[in-house]
Structure 1
Amino acid sequence: MQGRIEEMDEEGLGVLTVDRKLHVPFTAPGDVVEVRGWRRKKHRLIATEYKVIEPSGLRTEPVCPYFGKCGGCTLQHLPYSEQIRFKSDKLSNLLDMMVDVSPSPRVYGHRNRIDIVISTRGIGFRRRGTWWDAVDIEGCPVFGPSSTRVLHSLREFIEDHDPALYNIRQNEGFLHYIVIREGKFTGELMINLITSEGPLPEAFPEYFDYADSVYWSVNRTPSDVSYGEIRMFWGKEFIQEKLDDTVYLIHPNSFFQTNSYQAVNLVKRVAELSEGDRVLDLYSGVGTFGIYLAKRGLHVEGIEMNPLAVEMARRNNELNGVEAAFRVGKDRDVKDLAGYDTVIVDPPRAGLHPKLIRRILRDVPENIIYVSCNPKTLKQNLDVLLEKYGIDYVAGLDMFPHTPHVEVVAKLKAKV
């Protein structure tokens, strides 16, 4: 099949329509492409064998040498302004209203975490479209220069000690992943090596003596995951990140927004939208929003189901000299929302639990700030909540340059 790409789907793939609709990776509107093979995935036809025979004027040269092979970035062939336009159109169409997207302050070097597989197929990221293959990399431009240094040290360690690398297909091998985390505003660096059970050469931390914190974690499960039970650490127990005037401790197994530069704008936006004195921070995590708001004099209660995250939030509370209250709990078990001026929800990709939605509609707190990493479930939840709420504000923030993903912040006000 041959034809011109006229549009992009919501995942950032070019759409070619001839006698059927084909979704073509790494293409741009205006490209003329030839497609020779495809596969069916989730009711769509995805091109697997194709070439661009006449490039669009929209295209730009990708910065990353692994673009098109690595499964991480899929939009580097588009100028960043086009990426923002694509995300704004995507949100506007989905939410049926005009939604502006704020660009990331930095387009490269913005990620503060990357998870690198240490496999017999390569040391790097999963090859696009596979679970069993990897692209060997020397560094990651979206993370920054320290990734190159860490990967060089890792390869030196492997060359000197010859540990068994992860065979992904057979789920065998000692070394599985190395996770790199960096405080973008503090410059502090953390390395977490994930292995299966077995002895780690004592010299391992010496290869990373420039890192502030070095961890060894063991994954005893059959699952292919980039975390495990902490076995040992060297240096600092935590690294720190700073968003505006608020400092946060980072633990290997705790979640933190992956783009620190845009996370500053996110916490500021949430603070601007918050009303009243008493705030409930649901899905509070390590206290990213709650601690920031408490520093501004608001009375904050946070609820989070992950005990480690709650422990980290309490440490962050103490570190910043505020008195927000955090406790372990599930979204579905929240009892009373009526006493809060603002309720902040930042749920996982699955969205709000139905029991929580029913509780909101029963208690009707005046203000809800909904932070979402999945616009589809945001839309589903809004369709129900609009029974008793109106949308006061909605905007996107690009936390994930070069990918089709986008963060959304919406403010809902109870109808009078």
Structure 2
Amino acid sequence: MKGVIEELDWDGMGILRTGGREVYVPFTAPGDVVEVIKWRRKKRKLIAIDFEVVKPSPERTEPRCPHFGTCGGCALQHIPYGSQIAFKETKLSNILGIAVKVRPSPVIYGHRNRIDVVISAKGTGFRRRGMWWDAVDIDECPIFGGISKKVLKSLREFIEDHRPSLYEIKKNEGFLRYIVVREGKFTGELMVNLVTSKGTLPEDFPAYFDYADSIYWSVNRTKSDVSYGEIEKSWKSEFIKEKLNDVVYLVHPNSFFQTNSYAAIMLLEEVSKRIDGEKVLDLYSGVGTFGVYLAKRGLKTEGVEVNPFAVEMAKRNVELNGVDAVFRVGMDRDVGNLSTYDTVVLDPPRSGLHPKLIRKILKDKPESIVYVSCNPRTLAGNLQYLSEKYSLDSAVGIDMFPHTPHVETVAKLTLKV
């Protein structure tokens, strides 16, 4: 099967239409002439698994990472960054039904402040695209930055010296499973978290990472392929710090923080300028990323979050920044009367808002809503229900995830008169 890639689908794969079929070809660009040798069916789609780019498109650019095309992390490094932004603007505009601009990330390599590196018998790096049991061996990650090379070198020295067993996911055997690296891009502080199965860690492990500000050993006692566990031991600082504009945040191994610090500043600014009034509810508040930032600007902020540890982190961030804000543990749909707030900030998981919360919003009718979403499809679905009583005033995309098809959206909703 041979033909020209006409366009990208919303997941960033090239679409080849020929012989009455549509085949989705990863790592291709519009204008590529490709020959597909083998494909497989997945979720009613034909996905190319063996193909060749016979004639490259003039739209292509040279990927910076030598592992692009095998690593499952990036999908669009071969697309010029300006074209990536145009692709995301078209995607958001089509899904939301209005024209949406996307603000580019100020930094497009070295922007990620966290990477979760697989340690396995197959290699030390990232999962091979489409193969959950395999891994691509890497020396560094250009998306994270130069310090990744130093950390991975130290890890390999530790493995060489001590010969610990490496995890085999199919057998659920082996000791070393992940190393998670986090960096404060504006503070330069570094955290290393080694995730293992149950066992004994050599006592000199921290010495291999003496340049890190915070070192953790976590144990995953389950079969689940996750990069976190129960904290077994730590060395040096309990947290690292990140600074976004004038707000400092504590970062812990088991807490979520926006993965692109540079674009996170734009996200905070876009949310801040859409706030009406003075009293704000930060729902799905996490570690207080939005709530503390808004409180720093003199707004009366209350945050609600289901995760008790995240709430504890938010309270610490309040204390660290000397702001007046209250955070508490609670379910998204069990909050009080939403009409008592001037603006409700929503930052739900990818699955979107719970139906009960949507019904509560429509019943309580707060004047203003700022909806932050990492999934434009669920955002569009939620907006359709909310349109019964709310108008979509504006929406902007923030490119938190360069070289991937993902994009963050900030939408402003106002109660209809």
Q: Which residue of 1 aligns with 2:4?
A: 4
Counterpart Cα distance in 2 of 1:166 and 1:330: 37
Aligned to 1:89, the other structure's residue is in SS state helix
Alpha-carbon distance, 1:293 to partner: 0.4
Amino acid at match of 1:287: G
5+ residue gaps, structure 2, are none
Per-residue CA distance 1:71-110 (angstroms, 9 max, x = gap): 0001000000010000001111111111110000000000
Tell whether the 8 Å contact from 1:88 to 1:100 is kept in structure 2 after alignment.
Answer: yes
Aligned to 2:303, the other structure's residue is in SS state strand
Aligned to 2:147, the other structure's residue is in SS state helix
Per-residue CA distance 1:244-281 (angstroms, 9 max, x = gap): 00000000000000000000111111111111010000
Matched, 1:92 2:93: yes
- Which consecutive segments of 4 or more residues in structure 1 shift more than 4 A? none
Aligned to 2:188, the other structure's residue is in SS state coil
Correspondences of 1:119-158 after superposition (within 5 Å): 119-158=120-159
Q: Which residue of 2 aligns with 1:310?
A: 311
Tell whether the 8 Å contact from 1:241 to 1:248 is kept in structure 2 after alignment.
Answer: yes
Counterpart Cα distance in 1 of 2:299 and 2:18: 57
Aligned to 1:368, the other structure's residue is in SS state strand
Q: Which residue of 2 aligns with 1:359?
A: 360
Percent identical: 69
Matched, 1:242 2:243: yes
Matched, 1:346 2:359: no
Counterpart Cα distance in 1 of 2:389 and 2:119: 51
Aligned to 1:86, the other structure's residue is in SS state helix
5+ residue gaps, structure 1, are none
Aligned to 2:273, the other structure's residue is in SS state helix
Tell whether the 8 Å contact from 1:342 to 1:365 is kept in structure 2 after alignment.
Answer: yes
Q: Which residue of 2 aligns with 1:332?
A: 333
Tell whether the 8 Å contact from 1:334 to 1:356 is kept in structure 2 after alignment.
Answer: no
Per-residue CA distance 1:7-44 (angstroms, 9 max, x = gap): 11000000000020000011000001101110001110
Tell whether the 8 Å contact from 1:280 to 1:342 is kept in structure 2 after alignment.
Answer: yes
Tell whether the 8 Å contact from 1:392 to 1:410 is kept in structure 2 after alignment.
Answer: yes
Alpha-carbon distance, 1:200 to partner: 0.3
Tell whether the 8 Å contact from 1:396 to 1:406 is kept in structure 2 after alignment.
Answer: yes
Q: Which residue of 2 aligns with 1:231?
A: 232
The alignment yields a C-alpha RMSD, in angstroms, of 0.5
Amino acid at match of 1:140: C
Amino acid at match of 1:245: D
Per-residue CA distance 1:106-145 (angstroms, 9 max, x = gap): 0000000000010000000000011000000000000000
Amino acid at match of 1:7: E
Matched, 1:222 2:223: yes
Amino acid at match of 1:37: K
Q: Which residue of 1 aligns with 2:39?
A: 38
Per-residue CA distance 1:259-314 (angstroms, 9 max, x = gap): 00000111111111111010000000000000000011100000000111000000
Counterpart Cα distance in 2 of 1:367 and 1:41: 41
Q: Which residue of 2 aligns with 1:16?
A: 16
Per-residue CA distance 1:182-216 (angstroms, 9 max, x = gap): 00000000000001111100000000000000000
Aligned to 1:273, the other structure's residue is in SS state coil
Aligned to 1:194, the other structure's residue is in SS state strand
Counterpart Cα distance in 2 of 1:301 and 1:172: 45
Alpha-carbon distance, 1:323 to partner: 1.6
Counterpart Cα distance in 2 of 1:122 and 1:199: 22
Counterpart Cα distance in 2 of 1:117 and 1:3: 36
Tell whether the 8 Å contact from 1:153 to 1:207 is kept in structure 2 after alignment.
Answer: yes
Q: Which residue of 2 aligns with 1:289?
A: 290
Counterpart Cα distance in 1 of 2:73 and 2:225: 17
Counterpart Cα distance in 1 of 2:70 and 2:398: 27
Amino acid at match of 1:108: Y
| Count of residue pairs brought into register by the alignment | 416
Alpha-carbon distance, 1:335 to partner: 2.8
Aligned to 1:133, the other structure's residue is in SS state strand
Correspondences of 1:331-410 after superposition (within 5 Å): 331-410=332-411
Counterpart Cα distance in 1 of 2:95 and 2:278: 33
Per-residue CA distance 1:221-250 (angstroms, 9 max, x = gap): 121110000111101000000000000000
